Amino acid sequence: MTYQDALTAYNSGNFEEAFQELAKCEPSPMVQGLLKECKKQIEEQYAYLINDARHIGGAAAQKDYYNDFVQKYGENERLKSLIIKEENQQSSKQPVQPSIEPTPQVIEIKKEYSFEELMENYPIVKCCFYGVFVIIVLIIGSFIYFNNQTDFIEKQIVDVNTKIADIDQEISTKASAIQMIKE
């Protein structure tokens, strides 16, 4: 495999494959730079896996992912800190007793609102309404403006056509006069 093959693997998201291929290449600044980027991306993937394992498999799954990373790429303090943080959080977790008993509350849910109630009680609705209103006014104004522009352009075209017809008539007259002079 070549540097180009590793670069193709990197660009397609196969960072581990790219890393393995680059390890076989001759050392150069380009190879070293891409190796560094591959390891950075792989570290991000493992960080995601370790954080996700917190919710799925717990600390044991996190340690498995970390050990897999260490075996392939060596120690990593950032990933190690994710596991230590989880262990510390688990050891400090103790049931918390609520200090105040929750009291049930009855909430009236109203399904229909009048336009006035919406405008008065929900400022975001008011902003959206005015925004839509402004957009509609701008669209209508643009339509009127462009419609007037079309009328103006049509008048200009008629004027130009009239001038062309006059010039054509003048040319025909002069051509006839020249023809009569020649005969």
Residue 58: which domain range? Answer: 3-92
Same domain, 74 and 19: yes
Same domain, 142 and 85: no
Among 58, 92, 126, where does a domain finish?
92
Same domain, 21 and 67: yes
User: Does residue 146 have a pLDDT over 60?
Assistant: yes
Same domain, 139 and 173: yes
Same domain, 131 and 60: no
Same domain, 66 and 10: yes
Distance CA 65, CA 42 (A): 12
Instruction: Report yes or no on 128 lying in a domain.
Output: yes
User: Does residue 147 have a pLDDT over 60?
Assistant: yes
Distances (CA, A) of 160 to 146, 166, 172: 21, 10, 18
Instruction: Report yes or no on 104 lying in a domain.
Output: no
Instruction: Report yes or no on 101 lying in a domain.
Output: no
Hunting for tokens 């190690």 — which residue is that? 80
Q: Which pLDDT score, from 0 to 100, does residue 41 have?
A: 92
Q: What is the pLDDT of residues 91-135, one digit of tens each?
A: 555 444 444 444 444 545 555 667 676 666 666 766 777 888 889
Among 92, 125, 159, where does a domain finish?
92
User: pTM of the prediction?
Assistant: 0.45
Window from 27-36, 53-62, 74-83, 157-166 with minimum mean pLDDT: 53-62
Same domain, 81 and 134: no
Please measure the distance between the N-terminal and C-terminal CA atoms of the chain and give it in whole angstroms. 91
Distance CA 106, CA 147 (A): 58
Instruction: Report yes or no on 108 lying in a domain.
Output: no
- Residue 9, classified by CB atoms within 10 Å of its CB into exposed (0-12), middle (13-18) or buried (19+), is buried
Domains contained in the chain, number: 2
Same domain, 28 and 78: yes
